[in-house]
Structure 1
Amino acid sequence: MEVVYLLTAEIPSEFHCAQITTFHIQHVGNYMEKQFYIPFKNSEFNTENCFLCGHKIEGKITREHVFPKWLQKEFDLWDKTISITNETTIQYKNLTVPCCSKCNNEHLSILESNFQKLMQKGFKELTSFDEQVVFDWCGKILYATRHKELSLLYDRQKPELGSIISDEEFQSYSCFQLFLQSIRYETTWNVKPWSLFFFESETESFFYQTRVSFPCLSIKLGKHIVIVLFEDNNAIENHFENFKQIRFTPLSFVQQIEITAYLFYSASIKAKIPYYHSHFFNGHLTVNSSSDIYSKEFDYDDFALYYRMMLFEVGIEFKEKIHTGNGMINTSLIDKNNEPLIK
């Protein structure tokens, strides 16, 4: 285990916004029903329907790699394994979902090409369209992974136990299926249902983290770190505006974990999920959220346990107290002169 010692600093203030209502999707007219696949109605997660559009796949079933082939090649992931929800592992090359040829060869191919271009530019000076591309690319990874898990048994020796995650657990991802139709159709949002963060890394490697209990992910693509929080209507990004001070400061791995802990913990204490309305007309999708979001109180002791757990998961042992009292947190976000990176 790596042992780290950190500097004590003041934690960001509590994360508060206005109250919101329960999640709901309103479909306008029968045309919406015909155009959009809603697997959550009948728990239709299988190997015969495209995971994205829902159309029954005719002829030979094609497979979409959750982590695209170009990514696996670049970071030598093909034969490596990734842990899934029941703590077993699966090779990246085998982490696939059923996909029709149109979605695979057209919509998703365009998405991959657009994302690669943004990555080559270092995710700099992003437009609204660019943010949409990042959101769709990361959302597709998260949603497709959960879709795959619903097709896998928790224990192959005891099939009666069902899939790795239950249909009920997957309901928390129900809006993803709607949101990801923006891969197929031009989409307008009255508020961005995501928070995006970009950082730089000291090293070039691949690293991926997520949580099942709420939709979020952190992915390290060489020197580029991308963290996405879904279904928060941009609230966490607005709250942690000061993180933009270190947008181009190369971070160590420990610093990356600390940043991720702040953002994931903030996502975990959302009190409710936003309420969304959708409308589809003439090939254009409109998604509106008529409510704000608020969180529970930021609990320093809970955050300290959360941060310590995330460090432990990646093999880092922290021997000191993380929360030292009065909102003071031992932090790695310091420079070589022990000065805080974030003022």
Structure 2
Amino acid sequence: MNTGLYNPFKLFDFKGNKCFLTGLSTSEPIMINLLPQWLLDMAQLTGNEQIKLLDESVKSYNSLKVPCNEEVYLKNILPLENRIEKAFEEGYKEVSALQELDLFHWIGKLMYGFLYLEMQAAIRLKQLSGDGMNMSQGLMHKFANLHAMLQGMHTEVEFEEFKPWSIVVVPLEDQHTAFSFRDEINTLIFSLKFKDFGIVACLQDNGTNKRYHQEILSSIQDKHLSGQQFEEIAARFFYSAYLFNRLPEYNYLPVNGVVYIDQMPLRGMQNKPVFDEWEHKTYAQVLENFWKPWELTLFEIIKNPMQPVSFFEPSLLPDAG
């Protein structure tokens, strides 16, 4: 993939001695928190809260750090953090008014940061070779595309009449929702809820998941969602991201300091639909996990196999296969 941009997957560059975003070498890169201090403070978290990574290691929020070039941080990342902080401080009205590109960069930086740490851990535990040869080539390609697009934070990157993401921002009924987030690295999907807003983002689908769920999204436009409803929307996106069976391809054209990115047709030479068949039983298993705080069991959710429980009326679920 010749993008004209730094590609850490080319030499599997995750040793921690280069800027995670730009690849710029520095004798002492600064270490930046994946979950920024402003967010921990706003959410009234200590930073000692824990998260389990894919290698089963348990890390505190404060220990989740990646190396960054100081100039890149001060000139590019910090201004982005300031814009997101200001919007989060005000809540849904300002978050929904953010440029989607800013949300893409901020969420993408967070998810790629997690991926960077996972790569380091896998190499250290010899679960992954130092050159990445035992890593899925499809995943490596997907992650490299995301990283290339995130470099729009420090260099000029233009998307040619498309958005590589699906991002949904919704208002919540509970004005004081506690901060929490989910992510799934393999499918590059993320959800977050905080205060009076919720966000769901698919980072490498060219807007396809948002179109797939357009009927339910249109029906809830400007409606404040209950906690169960937000998690149901998130569960639908997490499941459809799993069903999404294409690996998006892009053309990169560096011209006079600008990298232009154009999408290739998702259908390609394949005749099958872009999404595998929706199965209510599998979806219900996803939903059970998202609804754990309300203690709804799989049996209750799928009591009617043709119509899983929904907190929307009508449910407007995709047709099952």
TM-score, normalised with respect to structure 1: 0.78
1:137 Cα deviation from its structure 2 partner? 0.4
1:198 alignment partner in structure 2: 169
Matching of residue 181 in structure 1 with residue 181 in structure 2 = no
2:198 alignment partner in structure 1: 225
The separation in 1 between residues aligned to 2:107 and 2:303, in whole angstroms, is 32
1:27-106 alignment, distance < 5 Å: 27=3, 32=4, 36-58=5-27, 60-77=28-45, 78-106=47-75
The separation in 1 between residues aligned to 2:106 and 2:60, in whole angstroms, is 20
1:329 alignment partner in structure 2: 308
Structure 2: state its 5+ residue gaps.
268-273
Give the % identical residues: 22
Counterpart amino acid of 1:195? S
Contact residue 84 and residue 90 of structure 1 kept, 8 A: yes
- CA RMSD in angstroms comes to 2.6
Alpha-carbon distance change, 315 to 66 in structure 1, aligned in 2, over 3 angstroms: farther
2:271 alignment partner in structure 1: none
Alpha-carbon distance change, 42 to 213 in structure 1, aligned in 2, over 3 angstroms: same
SS in 1 for 2:20: coil
Alpha-carbon distance change, 181 to 123 in structure 1, aligned in 2, over 3 angstroms: farther
Alpha-carbon distance change, 315 to 332 in structure 1, aligned in 2, over 3 angstroms: closer
Query: 1:301 pairs with 278, 281, 288, which one?
Result: 281
The separation in 1 between residues aligned to 2:116 and 2:39, in whole angstroms, is 20
Query: 1:272 pairs with 246, 253, 262, which one?
Result: 246
Matching of residue 132 in structure 1 with residue 105 in structure 2 = no
Counterpart amino acid of 1:205? A
Counterpart amino acid of 2:309? N
Alpha-carbon distance change, 178 to 153 in structure 1, aligned in 2, over 3 angstroms: closer
Alpha-carbon distance change, 244 to 124 in structure 1, aligned in 2, over 3 angstroms: farther
Structure 1: state its 5+ residue gaps.
1-24, 334-338
2:92 alignment partner in structure 1: 122
2:185 alignment partner in structure 1: 212
1:240 Cα deviation from its structure 2 partner? 1.8
Counterpart amino acid of 2:159? W
The separation in 2 between residues aligned to 1:106 and 1:64, in whole angstroms, is 14
The separation in 1 between residues aligned to 2:96 and 2:229, in whole angstroms, is 24
1:145 alignment partner in structure 2: 114
SS in 1 for 2:100: helix
Counterpart amino acid of 2:185? V
Counterpart amino acid of 2:280? Y
- Name the structure with the higher strand share: 1
The separation in 1 between residues aligned to 2:109 and 2:217, in whole angstroms, is 25
- 1:100-129, CA deviations, whole angstroms, 9 ceiling, x for partnerless residues? 1012111101111222344336255967x8
Counterpart amino acid of 1:147? Y
1:192 Cα deviation from its structure 2 partner? 0.4
Counterpart amino acid of 1:115? I
Counterpart amino acid of 1:204? T
Alpha-carbon distance change, 137 to 26 in structure 1, aligned in 2, over 3 angstroms: same
TM-score, normalised with respect to structure 2: 0.83
Counterpart amino acid of 1:198? V
SS in 1 for 2:44: coil
Counterpart amino acid of 2:18? N
SS in 2 for 1:97: strand
The separation in 1 between residues aligned to 2:121 and 2:57, in whole angstroms, is 11
1:211 Cα deviation from its structure 2 partner? 1.2
1:238 Cα deviation from its structure 2 partner? 1.9
Counterpart amino acid of 2:135? E
Number of aligned residues: 298
1:340 Cα deviation from its structure 2 partner? 4.3
1:254 Cα deviation from its structure 2 partner? 2.3
Contact residue 48 and residue 56 of structure 1 kept, 8 A: yes
SS in 2 for 1:152: helix
1:252 alignment partner in structure 2: 226
Contact residue 300 and residue 323 of structure 1 kept, 8 A: no
1:181 Cα deviation from its structure 2 partner? 0.8
1:138 Cα deviation from its structure 2 partner? 0.4
